[in-house]
Amino acid sequence: RAAEWQLDQPAWSGRLRITAKGSTAFIKLEDKSSGELFAQAPVEQFPGIAVESVTDSSRYFVLRIEDGNGRRAFIGVGFVDRGDAFDFNVALQDHFKWVRQQSELAQQAQDLEQGPKLDLGFKEGQTIKLNIANMKKKEGATGNTRPRPAGPGGLSLLPPPPGGKSASGERPSSLCTPARLPGTPITDSLLSWPQPAAAPAADVWGDFAKASG
C-alpha cells in the first residue's frame, strides 16, 4: 500500500527512463540534471515480480532493482502526474508485445523449414493435357467472316440500274443475253432497249478558234 510510505518526504527524486536490449527491458532511475544512474531494474516479463503495482493507487509501483553483482532490493516509486504513470505502463506493454510477435514469427519460420516441402516439378513420364478445342472454334468463327466493301462514308455501293447513267456520264451498253428468272418468260420487250438519239455533229475546234491569242 502506497499510503504506508512517506510520500511527503521521498528518499530520492529524479527521472525514469525505459530502455531495451533484446527481449529485456531496463527501468533506469537517473539524476534529472547530470543523468547519473541511481538504480536499475531489469524486466524480463510483464506483468511480473520485477514490476508490481500497489493496491491503493495507479501512480505507484514496486520495482526490484539490481546492482549487477547479484544484490537485489525492492523499492517503491511513484509519479506526480497520473499521465506519466499511464505512459510507464504502456511502454512496458508495447515492448513485451513486440517480444511475443518476434517469437511467433521465429516459430512460424522454423515450422516452415521443418515441414514437408512441395515438389511441383514433373515426374519422369508425367504429362498434362490442355483442352484447346474451344479456342480453335472461336478462331475459325472469326476467321471466316469478311468485311463487306464499303464506299465513301461507310455505305455499300450498288450497281447502277439499267438505262441509268454511270459516274462518267455514259450509258451502259445493252445486254446481249438477259438473265432469266425461274418462271419468267423471255419476251421481246426485254431484249429491245431504247436507243439514244444520235447527237448532231459539232465542230470540236470551235471553242479553240474563237479564243483570243
Location of C-alpha cell 515426374: 123
Distance CA 169, CA 167 (A): 6
Single out the residue of 179, 203, 199 nearest to residue 191, CA to CA.
179
Single out the residue of 117, 118, 85 nearest to residue 18, CA to CA.
85
Q: What does DSSP assign to residue 182?
A: T
What's the pLDDT score for residue 162? 64
pLDDT along the chain (213 residues), means of 10: 84 92 92 91 88 91 90 92 92 92 84 68 77 64 55 56 55 51 52 56 58 57
The sign of the dihedral angle between the CA atoms of 105, 110, 115, 116 is positive
Strand, coil or helix: what is 136? helix
CB atoms within 10 A of CB 20: 16
User: What percent helix, strand, coil does the chain show, rounded to 5?
Assistant: 30, 20, 55
Single out the residue of 101, 97, 35, 102 nearest to residue 89, CA to CA.
97
Q: Which domains does the chain have, with CATH numbers?
A: 2-114 (2.30.29)
Cell numbers linked to 70: 547479484
Single out the residue of 150, 194, 196 nearest to residue 169, CA to CA.
196
What's the burial of 51, exposed, middle or buried (CB within 10 Å: 0-12/13-18/19+)? buried
What's the pLDDT score for residue 146? 57
Distance CA 66, CA 49 (A): 13
Q: What is the largest CA-CA distance in the chain?
A: 142
Distance CA 48, CA 77 (A): 16
